[in-house]
Structure 1
Amino acid sequence: MSHLCQAIPSANTLSPKVPIVLTIAGSDSGGGAGIQADIKAISATGSYACCVITAITAQNTLGVQSIFPIPLPEIEAQLDSVFSDLNIVAVKIGMLASSEIIKLVARKLKQYQPKHIVLDPVMVATSGDLLVQPGAITSLIEHLLPIASVITPNIPEALTLIGENPGHFNGDIEALSHTLKTLPTQAILLKGGHLQPQDASIDWLISKAQVDAFSSERINTHNTHGTGCTLSSAMASYLAQGSSLVDAAQQAKNYLTEAIRSADALNIGQGHGPVDHFYSLHRSA
C-alpha cells in the first residue's frame, strides 16, 4: 500500500491535555540531532517533551569529537524522576552507548511500562562516526527490541541488526523486509534514505502481517543532520496523541519531509546542517 504526503495536523486539533513524550538519548552540542532534535520535533508536532540524557557528545555539523557516557546511577535517577511525576505516554529511545546503559534502560521501562516505545537504533552519526560500543548491538537486540512498539533503523542499521554487511546490500528491499520480520520486535519502520539515486524517498513499515510503503519527494540537500532522531521522535509524538502505528508513520514522514524542505534556509554550520524543526513558524514569519 502506498501513502502520499498529507497535511500536517495542527496542534490546535489536539485535546486540551497535551500528551507527554520522553526521549532517552544523547546530547548533541551542535543542536541538530540527539536530545535537542528530539525535543524540537516532539514540541513542533504538538506534544510535551521531557528527557533523560544518556551521554554528552562534543558534536557539530562536521562530526563527533568526543563522547562521555553518563554514569549509570545518574541515568537511573533521571528515569525515576520523570516517571514518578509525569504521565509519560510514549518513549523515544535514541543513542545508548554501552551494553550497561541498554540493560538499565530496558529494566526501567519494564518497571514503568509506558504505552508506546519507539526505538531508533542509533549506531552511526551522519558524519560516519561510530556512536556505540560494538557489544552494545547484541544487547540492543536482546533487551530492547522485544519491548519496543516499533524500531526505526535506516538500511545500514537494519543490515547490522540482522548480522549482514551493509556494504554487500544489493538493494532487494523485499528480501530484506522478509528477514527483518525475524527480529524479536513488533514492527520495523525501515528508512530508505540511503537508497540512491531515486526521485522519491520511500520508507517501509514492516510488521508480521504486512508491509506499508510511504513515499515522498526526495529533496536535494546536504542538511540532513538529525533526520533519524527527528522522524522517530515525531512518530512517538503522534502515537502519544492516539494515532495508529500506520498513521503515526505517515504523519512523521510528512513532518520530516517539510523540515528537510526548509533545511537550507537555516544555513547552520559548515557540514551536514540540521533540518528545520520549526519550519511552520519560519514560513509564517
Structure 2
Amino acid sequence: MNQYLARLPPPMVLTFAACDPSGGAGLQADLMTIAALGCHPLSVTTALTVQDTVGVASVLAIDADCVEDQARTLLEDMPVAAFKIGLLGSVENLAVIAEILADYPGVPLVLDPVLASGRGDELADQEMISGLREILLPLTTVLTPNTLEARRLATADYDADDDDHPTLADCAQRLLSFGCAYVLLTGTHDSSPRVVNRLYGGAGGGLVRSDAWDRLPATYHGSGCTLASALAAQLAIGLPVSEATRAAQEYTWLALAAGFRAGMGQHLPDRFFQMHQARGGRLDG
C-alpha cells in the first residue's frame, strides 16, 4: 500500500481555454493532449462556445472574476510546471490572466493566439490583439501562430487584401520585439507541398530550427490547440525549447495522420493514437 501512496505526481499543465462541445479544439483538445503526453491537465474555462466540426456559431465569455477564482484556487493547491493559453473570450479575461501569470515568472508559458476558427469565424478584435501584444507576449515563452495570425499580430494596420505584407521572418522579429522568448511560426495555412514550421528566438533572435512535415490531405479542427498543448507538456516534462518544439510537432503530426472525420466538417486529431495503435486500431479498423 505504501508504494502507491509514495508515488510522485506527474508534471501539471494548466490551460486557459474555451470549452468546445465537439471535443475537437479548445479545452477538450488541451486536456486530451496533455494527458496523452503523460502530464496531469488542470483547466480554467475562459468561455463557452456553440460550435461543431464545421465552425463556431457563438462565444460566451466567462466573467473575469470567475476566471481568476478558478486559476487562483488551483495555483494555491497544486504546483504547475507549464501554462498554456488558447481562446481568451474577452479583454478582461486577458488582463486578469496576465496578472496571474506575472506571479509565476519561472513557469514556461505557451500562447496559442486563437484569432479565428478554422472556417474563418472571427474570435478576436483589434482590442484583443493589442492586449496580446502589450500584456501577454512579454510573459510568453513560446508563441505559436500560423502565418495569418503572425501577420495580424505583428502588423498594427494589417489588411489581408493588401499584397504588401512583411516577410514571415520580419513578422517573427516583430513578435520577438514585443517580449516573447520564442516564436514558432507554423506553415499549416501555406500552399506548399510540405508544412514547414520555423522556430525563432533565443539569445540571437534568429532561426533556431526548421522542421518540415508531409502535408496531409484533410483539414483538421484543433490542430493548433494540439500543437500548443503538446509543446506545453514537453516543456513541463523538462525538455529545452528546441527539443520540446520538435517533440510536440511529431506528436501533433502523428495525431493528425491518425485523425478521423466525426461530423460534416473538419477531421479531428486522434490524440490517443498511441493507445489505439497498441490495441490494433479503432473499432472501425
Q: Same fold (TM over 0.5)?
A: yes
Indicate which of 256, 260, 272 corresponds to 2:256: 260
Q: CA RMSD in A?
A: 1.8
- Following superposition, the deviation at residue 195 of structure 1 comes to 0.9
State how many pairs are aligned.
267
Q: Tell me: CA distance 1:16–1:217, structure 2 relative to 1, closer, same or farther (3 Å).
A: farther
Name the residue aligned to 2:181: 186
> Which structure exhibits the higher relative contact order, with contacts defined as CA atoms closer than 8 Å and separated by 6 or more residues?
1
Alignment TM-score, normalising by the size of structure 2: 0.89
Q: Which runs of 5+ in 1 are unaligned?
A: 1-14
Identity of aligned residues (%): 33
Partner of 2:117: 125
In structure 2, what is the equivalent of residue 80 of structure 1? 72
Structure 2 counterpart of 1:47, which letter? C
CA contact (8 A) 1:97 1:133 kept: no
2:241 matches 1:248: no
Residue 42 (structure 1) aligned to one of 34, 52, 56: 34
* Kept in 1: contact 2:13–2:40 (CA 8 A): yes
Partner SS state of residue 135, structure 1: helix
Separation in 2 of the partners of 1:134 and 1:97?
13
The aligned counterpart of 1:284 is: 278
Q: Tell whether 2:234 aligns with 1:238.
A: yes
Paired with 2:82 and 2:169, the residues of 1 have a C-alpha distance of: 30
* Other structure's SS at 2:185 match: strand
Q: Give the corresponding residue for 1:199.
A: 193
TM-score using structure 1 length: 0.89
* Bigger Cα Rg: 2
Spell out structure 1 runs of 4+ moving beyond 6 A: none
Q: Deviations over 1:158-180 (max 9, x none)?
A: 10011233443669444444444
Match of 2:103, SS?
A: helix
Task: Kindly indicate whether residue 225 of structure 2 is the aligned counterpart of residue 229 of structure 1.
Answer: yes
Change (3 A) 1:187 1:155: same
Q: How does 1:1-285 map to 2 (within 5 A)?
A: 17-113=9-105, 115-163=107-155, 164-167=158-161, 168=163, 172-196=167-191, 198-207=192-201, 209=204, 210-211=206-207, 212-222=209-219, 224-263=220-259, 266-285=260-279
Q: Which residue of the partner structure matches residue 9 of structure 1?
A: none
Partners of 2:160 and 2:183 in 1: CA distance: 17
The aligned counterpart of 1:11 is none
2:56 and 2:121 in contact (8 A); partners too? yes
Q: Using the alignment, how far apart are the partners of 1:280 and 1:94 within structure 2? A: 25
**Distance in structure 1 (CA, Å) of the matches to 2:264 and 2:275:** 24
Contact 1:61 1:225 in 2 (8 A): yes
Cα deviation, residue 282, structure 1: 1.6
- Equivalent residues of 1:93, 1:119 under 8 A apart: yes
